[in-house]
Structures are given as structure tokens and as C-alpha cells.
Structure 1
Amino acid sequence: MIADIIPSNNSIVDSSTTNISIYFSSPVYLSTGNISIHKASNHRIRQTVSVTSEFCNLSDDRKVVVISIINSTFNEYGEKYYMRIDDNFANAVNFNNESLRGIEKEVWFFKSAYTAPQSETAATGLTVFTVDASKKFSTLSTTEKSKYIDTLLDEFADKVPIRRERLSWEIFQPFEFGQIAISVRIDLPINKTENTENTVPGVISNLNTMILYKRITNFSTSVTNDLDSTLGFRLLGEE
């Protein structure tokens, strides 16, 4: 029942890839389940959306589903990704509402040609804990607070990803509504002659996107889930 998918299998993608379109041979209606993008080398989720969410839109003729892709999803140069679609994600209108099979893992691949904008300098940005996480943080000892922030940066390194040695935190400070803000420094790539490592502007953009949309990225788990998704990641001095 799936007639085609654009981008096609093994296509080149990058941060300008804003959607994936699934074409059907006859009308469907969306049912239940998720559509996920995984990093092929470790099978970790880069983006996952419910077919009934605002990230999936069905065309008027019910023959095309367009999935919105955020700009942090395909963010590693040369990395392969695959799309997985749950079974029963849609039903065929003209075939007694028959449930459709999805796509198993490691069947439909994309390869990233992502290159982030270059930068000559390091940068420092601000991220903010939710009200509840800030209350929890405030009860910790000084040592526990440092360990908590170090764990947050470990997760940044793993989930964005970025080399851990490029990340450091400088201060934590009160923010609005009793929240706690963390000042995070992002250093330049270790090997400046290579263009495969995410640059400072690229990391800033990825952090901001993954926090703002944490509910559909791997930031929805563990310490990164304690970050305020309404504020993202801001360069110091930005309003």
C-alpha cells in the first residue's frame, strides 16, 4: 500500500531536509503508532513522532503523509540513518479499513551530508531547568549540584553529539520563576582542519532545537528532560 517515500531509499539528506513524504496507492486514514528516525551506527532515536501529532499531516486526498523533520535530526556528516514505521500506523479506506504494515528497522536509509556553519570562536550559552527540576536542584549539596551538571553535559555530548571535552559549565544562577539557569561553554572543534565535526554554531543550533522539541527527540529522557522546552538554548546576551 505504500507506493513511494521521498526522499528515496539511500538518499542524501542534511539540515535543510524539512520533511519526509509517504505516498499511498489508495486513500488512508492515520491510526496509531510512531514514525521514527534512528542513527544507524547505534540505533538511537533522533526523532520520533506519533502519526496523530502535528508533525504528521495527511493530504486532502488522503494519499500522502508529510512528516515534519527538525533540523537536528540529520546532523552528522557521513552518518547513515534509517526510518522505522510502526505496523498499523494507517488503515486503507477502500479495503475494509485494513491495517497497513509499517517499515522495519534498517530497511529505508538516508545518508547525511550535513555541514554546519563555521566559527572562529568558542561561545557560551544558557539553558534553564524546569520549575520542578530547579526545586530538586536547589536541595542538592554543592558536590551533588556539580555532579548533576556534569551528567547533563555528558548527555549533551552523547545525544547531540559533540566531543565531551568541548563542553564545560561556568556558573549556575537564579532565573525567572524560581528556575535555575546553567551557563555552558562550547569550545571549537578539536581538529579544525576536518569539516566532519559539528561546529560551534551547529552545536548551538542543535541544542536549541533538541531542547525546544525534546518531546520528539532523545532529550525526552534522563537529565536533559529536566530542561525547559519553552526556552531552548540561548547565547549569552540574547533576549
Structure 2
Amino acid sequence: MGRTCTCGTLSLTYPRRTMGKITVDVKREVLRANDMLAEALRREWASRSMLVVNLLSSPGSGKTALLERTLEILKGRMRVAVLEGDIETDRDAERIRAKGVEAVQITTGGTCHLEANMVAKAWERISDRDWDILFIENVGNLICPAGFDLGEHLRVVLLSVPEGDDKPAKYPKAFRTARWMVLTKMDLLPFFDFSPERAVSEAKRLRPDIRVFRTSAKTGEGVEEWANALVEEYRKMYG
């Protein structure tokens, strides 16, 4: 299945020579169970006419800042909720709540990614389920989260200017499995050796049909285009 992780529950089932086939089989069962639950969540959300968006990125790439700006634009147009994944603290969730949007915190306590069972439990805690868009802000990490289906309809990977334009080449799975890529912190472009063209070229080499947005949460550049694209995606799915 091409998925590996050395944290959380899967650290107990990572292949070891001394355990042989038994360990590998247990790992496959864990991943199979995740995929089955993710598919059940996807069906439930589709039955409720919801667009679910899984946001992946490195730590500090600006997921929460982009969400804050996006929520301002979508206010009054789409009913939105957020599931916030973090290893510790609920600071990002509080930032979202300050925008008047329901946010449920998922604290992983050391696990470097979200899994479908974590998302399912958080979904049960949402007070109102009449949403148009549900954002899942994954734990900041470009490795492990790429291997876990959370039931999303749209996977988006963020890449900030300070990170460097070589991230798609270094972390290919995150960019190969994402339908959209958002370049963030474009206002910092004059201060970093970052080529948007090179970043996009590397991403398209991995996934030719990846859709790209260039944004700055600070200046607002490109955020409206991104937000409107989400509305278009919702309407494409549900009319």
C-alpha cells in the first residue's frame, strides 16, 4: 500500500525482521480498517451534501492563517466547520472559534498524523451537522498524513515560501495524493530564494492535473480565488 509511519499506533506494527509476516499482516489490517472507516465517513458526508477538505502541510506553513481568511470570505455563503488536528494545545481551534465558526479539537498526544478513527470521534462531537464544507486541518507533517485517508473529498497540500521550492521533490507522496496545492506566504517572496515556477513544475511532475493557488493570508493575495474555487467544487458535487 506504500504507507509507512513510525509514530502512534503504527509504531507497534512497523515491520521488524524478528516478527516477520505477522507484523506486516497486522499493519495491513490497521491500514485496511482505517480505509474502511474513511470510506464510511465519506459516504455519510456525501449523504449530507458536504464537501470535506483535508489540509496537509509542514508545521508553520500557514494552514490556520489561510483558514481564517477563507472563513471571512465564505461567511454568509457557505456553512463551515473545522476539525483541528494538533499534537498538543487547542490554540488553532481557538483562533477558528474566534471567527464564529465551530471547531472541534483533535489532540493526538504525540501521533504525527490524523487517522479516520480520530476524525470519526471528533465528528461525533460536532453539535450541528448541517454544514456545506468541513475542513480537516491535519497535523503539521508532510510524511505520515499523506498515507491516511480521512474520508475527505478533496485533499489539499500547502507549501509556504520560507520552506523552499524543493519540498515536492523531497516529499512526493504528499503532493502526488493532493488534487490541489496552495502556495502560501507569497508576500515573503522577495526575501527568500524560492521559485514558484520550480515548485509548481515539481508538483506537476508528480501529478500533472494538480491545481495551484498562490496566496498570502497577510495581504489577501489569491485567497478569494481559492475560496471561490471551494464554492465551485461544492456546487460541482451537489449542484
- Relative to the length of structure 1, the TM-score reads 0.25
User: Could you state the TM-score of these two structures normalised by the residue count of structure 2?
Assistant: 0.25
- The structure with higher relative contact order (CA 8 Å, sep 6+) is 2
Larger Rg: 1
More strand by share: 1
